Amino acid sequence: MIRKFLETTFKFVRTNKRTARLHKEILTELLSKVPAYKDLEWVYEYKLMKDGYGGTFAIDIAGFLDGNLIVAVLAKAINSNVAKNNKNFANCTIGEIHRLMDAPNLSTLEKVLFISYYPRKAPRFAKGELDGFDNVVKSKLCTNIKPILKKYWGERVISMDLYYDIGDIENKVSKSDFDNIEPGNIDEINFA
């Protein structure tokens, strides 16, 4: 499942192949946790023709019932340089949720799930070289958008930050040392 994806998550970052694998593994995990979602028809990279801004919007994983969008999943697996990009990630999430929730003709949308995987301790790279490590859990606490999502959208919008450990991280000294990792202590999708 997601473990296999995480083993090579640092390889081929920003490629369609990596993205497709992530989406497939997240949907597999999601369906194992929410059996009712098995009745939905699932589409990867669904193109919403009109979002809240008037443009198009790509939904990573979309669940339909009788042709109506019921569940939208927006997925990420961010590996490195997390702390310096946290505010940007938060701003993107807020923008994405407005694009969906303010879109016309989406009254059937019951749930938007932001599912993101992060290493608890993430490498920080500068000019392609290992420059140190970020404490991602601590960093994410400084940019907690969950209360904002709940305030405006209640339980319709859920953000799940799922963490994992990178085995033997202290002995890694170069970017290539992360090509194949041993992920452990992986958080599971949980709606509680």
Cβ burial, residue 82 (10 Å; 0-12/13-18/19+) = buried
Q: How many CA atoms lie within 13 A of 131 on its CB side?
A: 11
pLDDT at residue number 192: 55
pLDDT in tens, 85-106: 888 989 999 999 999 999 998 9
User: How many whole angstroms separate alpha carbon 30 and alpha carbon 64?
Assistant: 15
User: How many whole angstroms separate alpha carbon 153 and alpha carbon 100?
Assistant: 12
Yes or no: say if 26 and 37 are a contact pair by the CB < 8 Å rule.
no
The first and second tokens of residue 96, run together, are 């994405």
User: How many whole angstroms separate alpha carbon 49 and alpha carbon 55?
Assistant: 7
Split at pLDDT 50, 70, 90, the class of 60 is very high
Split at pLDDT 50, 70, 90, the class of 154 is very high
Domain boundaries of the chain, sorted by first residue: 2-184
The pTM of the full predicted model, rounded to 2 decimals, is: 0.93
Yes or no: say if 107 and 156 are a contact pair by the CB < 8 Å rule.
no
Question: What average pLDDT is seen over the chain?
Answer: 93
